[in-house]
Amino acid sequence: MDQQQLRALEYRCIQEEPPFCTAACPIHVDARAFMAALAKDDVASARKVLDRTMPFADIVGRLCDAPCQPACKRREVGDPLAIGALEHFCVSHSKTLIKLPKLPAKGGTAAIFGAGLSGMTAALDLARKGRAVTLYTAQPTLGGTLRALVPDTLPADSLAQAQALLTEYGVTIKAATPLDPGTMATLAAACDTVYCDPDEITIHAVAGVSADLDPLTLAAGPEGWFAGSTGGSGASVIQQVADGRRAALSMERFLQKVSLTAQRDKEGAFATRMHTVVTDIAPAAVIGPADPATGYTADEARAEAGRCLQCECLECVKQCVYLQTYKEYPKTLVRKIYNNQAIVQGTRNANKMINACSLCGQCTVICPNDFPVADVCRATRQEMVATGHMPPSPHDFALEEMRFSLSEACRLSRHQPGHATSRYLFYPGCQLSGSAPEAVRRAYALLTGQLEGGVGLMLGCCGIPAHWAGQGALFAATMESLAAEVAALGNPMLIVACSSCLAIFKEFAPALKVRSLWEVLDGLDLPTPPPRPLPGCLSLHDPCTARHQPELRASVRRLCAKLGLPVTEASLGGELADCCGYGGLMQFANQPLGRESAENKARRSEAPAGAGLAYCAMCRDNLAATGRPVAHLLDYLLASPGDPDPLGRSNPGFSWRHEQRARLKRDLLAELWQETAQPRPAHTDIVLRIDQEVRDRLNSRMILEEDLQKVIEFAEASGRYLINPTNNRRLASHRPLRVTYWVEYEPTDQGYRIHNGYSHRMQLPEVRS
């Protein structure tokens, strides 16, 4: 990611866009922060918000005509906030708390003709920038038409205070100066730039000055002359302030001899890109002051400010536990990723975050600008791999499992027994084969029984773990080898059980003919289910990888209807479905987050006890691991008398899935093709006895039973182990590849009882022989 790409990505996330009120305000008062403070009864902080942006807050806070109010998002669920009246309350109950700094004097002289609100604002802003400003008025005091508002609308001393403030910032005030065109021309000739306030000056009466102002700069004809667009009693107060501010910026740029027009598109009121969803917000009507004559009481003001929605987007964050966990929204996330990648020497603190995204793409669907978090994280992983910055531990286990699924122990590619060609090729995928091998067996029997032209079988792995891990070369090689095997079978149509495999094939092997198992089953005669009571209501859990496969999801629902399964939609599903924690290898990079993702998905169940029905094997197992009753659709579609209750099936865990994959190949080869699989390594014959508690611990530590078998084989063959004389247990270690496994065990009559297992990657010196 280069800086240009970063900027383009950051622009797509609108969380930091100004809220609707601020964008509609010609001077961008942060009304959201103002309301947040008032809602906490913090009038001082609210006042500071005004002081930061609003010149002469004691005046403007009382008079502002509040063009922000019609823009307030609250209007869609009740009335807009009474922003103007609350500002009035605030300035009536506080004094100026922030005086903005004045820059050092830097030359350049400005004359302001007319001391209405826009002239005063222009004078103040220019004086703050360090310019020598003289403010002329024909009146005896400042304020222009505001003077008529004292004392009924404005406090008696408000204009005097404004005058004192201007003087404090170094503005020279020349009152009672006749502002006829001749005098103005003479005074203007003695300074560098001029502003005319239409509250006091008739613009077109000044020689050479045009009332036809440039709307962007307020330039008024002669070089260096600027003027306001509005004034007089009844003119918009905030527009006068905005004019004075806009003109002051133009005059400053004029004095600096830089572009008057560059980068001014966000000045004045503008349309924000902010996106705030109000569908779940209860309507609330405006809370007005009980006595309009005296205005808000503190309690009333707090209550009214409390109606503020504090507009923001965060639509993706509301659903995504990953973004919630890392306390990021896409804009801050990509910046952290960019900074992480820029580190040459030092700790890359964001590595884990980059590897923990499930790459599920839910946020992209939710985002009004399709922010591609998954693409960014995956591309970054690929970059980390390419530059040697990918830590080994997050993906090692999953990649080893992928290699195992693709190894001779598990892979299989055959025409249907008795057929020399295949019109179809059943591809159950590695996780279904590991989680529910019997379902694979039955599905294959159903397909071969009903489809004409031969249904081949292919066991293996689509390579998605390598894709997720950023291992581009490994992934490409896997896809290539798979495509070659399919070609060797005559390019049959793949019938794919796993929505992840299917999504991968569609994206990366478009030449393959593919269909989902569910669409195919939807077109076949389904076996009559055995007479057994149907489950109670089940919430249907779509997998995240079916997000962009609406046909597949529709087939699943039709199959459920045909079976009479009482399914209900999860509270979030379809194209918005959450990941179960397996996607993107999240659960390997951040195990607690993986568990939380499964919990989050499980909580979407609308059925009693969180009961659910999944049609992705990983979703099924991860959801079952949360302790909720969750079945796989094939458990009901291909049920057989005597099956245990599918809702009672626990998570088989990594180890058992690993083992079942190898057994499925061995058994199918023997049953269907009468072939003997290559013998598995001798250590796999070692019999282990493991209590559930230890089994769970080993599973969470990603230690397979086969790892234990390798350690024991090594230890028993070499005699190298430790022994505890108090209980005769043995402790041994072995490092087959990149991880050292330790096993605490004891020999029994039929094998070994396992008491514990743990691992580390740090390498010890070789043991002396």
Partner 1 sequence: MSQFSFLEATDWQCACCRQPLQPTPVRVSYLNSVFDVELMACSGCGFILVPESLAVGKMLQVEQLLEDK
Binding site for partner 1 (CB under 8 A): 346-349, 351-352, 391-393, 701, 719-726, 730-731, 733, 740, 742, 756, 758-765, 767-769
For the bound state, the minimum distance from the C-beta of residue 169 to partner 1, rounded and expressed in Å, comes to 51
The C-alpha atoms of residue 624 and residue 630 are separated, in whole angstroms, by 5
Q: How far is the CB of 328 from partner 1 (least distance, A)?
A: 18
**CA nearest to 282, candidates 20, 72, 74:** 74
Euclidean distance between CA atoms 142 and 124, whole angstroms = 13
CB of 389 to partner 1, least distance (A): 9
Query: Between 513 and 738, whose beta carbon lies closer to partner 1?
Result: 738
Write down the least CB distance from residue 685 to partner 1, Å. Answer: 23
CB of 732 to partner 1, least distance (A): 9
Whole-angstrom distance, CA of residue 403 vs CA of residue 395: 12
CA dist 49 and 58 (Å) reads 13
Tell me how crowded residue 593 is: count the other CB atoms within 10 A of its CB: 23
Distance CA(471)–CA(465), nearest Å, equals 9
What distance in Å separates the CA atoms of residue 394 and residue 609, rounded to the nearest whole number? 33
CB 552 within 8 A of CB 495: no
Question: Which residues does 403 contact at the CB level (< 8 Å), separation at least 6?
Answer: none
* Residue closer to partner 1 (CB basis): 79 or 746: 746
Q: CB 401 → partner 1: shortest distance, Å?
A: 20
Shortest spacing between CB 722 and partner 1, in angstroms = 4
Nearer to partner 1, 15 or 759 (CB): 759
- How many angstroms separate the CA atoms of 23 and 17, rounded? 9
Structure tokens at 177: 């100066």
Give burial (CB, 10 Å; 0-12/13-18/19+) of 450: middle
Q: What does each C-alpha distance from 391 to 287, 468, 663, 764 come to in angstroms? A: 56, 14, 32, 20
> Smallest distance from the beta carbon of 214 to partner 1, in angstroms?
54
Cα–Cα distance, 35 to 48 (Å, whole number): 12
**Type and span of the H or E element at 612:** strand 612-614
Q: How far is the CB of 418 from partner 1 (least distance, A)?
A: 52
Quickly count: other Cβ atoms within 10 Å of residue 579's Cβ: 30
In terms of CB distance, is 279 or 726 closer to partner 1? 726
Which residue number, 548 or 760, has a Cβ lying nearer to partner 1? 760
In a 3-state reduction of DSSP, which class is residue 437? Answer: helix
Which of residues 369 and 759 has its CB atom nearest to partner 1 in the complex? Answer: 759
CB of 340 within 8 A of CB of 348? yes
What one-character DSSP code corresponds to residue 78? B
- How far is residue 529 from each of residues 126, 414, 613, 636, 641, measured CA to CA in Å? 84, 29, 17, 7, 9
The CB-of-719 to partner 1 minimum distance in angstroms stands at 6
Strands 424-427 and 493-496: parallel
Cβ distance to partner 1 smaller for residue 510 or 765: 765
d(CA 712, CA 93): 79
Rg (CA), the chain: 36
Q: CA angle, 384 as apex, 383 and 388 as ends, to 5°?
A: 120
CB of 768 to partner 1, least distance (A): 4
Task: Pick the closer one to partner 1 by CB: 266 or 760.
Answer: 760
Burial 411-426 (b: 16+ CB within 10 A, else e): bbbbbbeeeeebebbb
Among 142, 92, 100, residue whose Cα is nearest residue 125: 100
Q: Which is nearer to partner 1, 394 or 465 (CB)?
A: 394
Smaller CB distance to partner 1: residue 568 or 740? 740
* 689 three-state secondary structure: strand
Whole-number Å distance between alpha carbons of 369 and 372: 9
State the residue for tokens 């293996």: 460
Nearer residue to partner 1 within complex by CB, 327 or 768: 768
Q: Are 439 and 634 in contact (CB under 8 A)?
A: yes
For partner 1, give the closer residue by CB, 486 or 703: 703
- Supply 14's token pair: 């609108």
**Shortest Cβ 89–partner 1 spacing (Å):** 52
- Beta carbon nearer to partner 1, 98 or 723: 723
HSE of 685 in the Cβ direction (CA atoms, 13 Å)? 4
Cβ of residue 341: shortest distance to partner 1, in angstroms? 13
Paired tokens of 385: 């791999």
Question: Least Å distance between CB 38 and partner 1?
Answer: 44
Which residue's CB is nearer to partner 1, number 504 or number 585? Answer: 585
Q: Which CB atom, from 75 or from 701, has the smaller least distance to partner 1?
A: 701
Closer to partner 1 by CB, 279 or 763: give it.
763
Q: What is the nearest approach in angstroms of partner 1 to the Cβ of residue 343?
A: 9
Question: Rounded to the nearest 5 degrees, what angle is found at the Cα of 717, between the Cα atoms of 711 and 721?
Answer: 60
In angstroms, rounded to a whole number, what is the distance separating the alpha carbons of residues 560 and 569? Answer: 12
The residue among 350 and 570 lying less far from partner 1, judged by its C-beta, is 350
Cis check for the bond before 151: say yes or no (omega within 30 of 0).
Answer: yes
CB of 713 to partner 1, least distance (A): 16
How far is C-alpha 12 from the chain's CA centre?
12
Phi and psi torsions of 58, nearest 5°: -65, -25
State which residue, 494 or 690, has the beta carbon closest to partner 1.
Answer: 690
Count Cβ atoms below 10 Å from residue 442 Cβ, excluding itself: 17
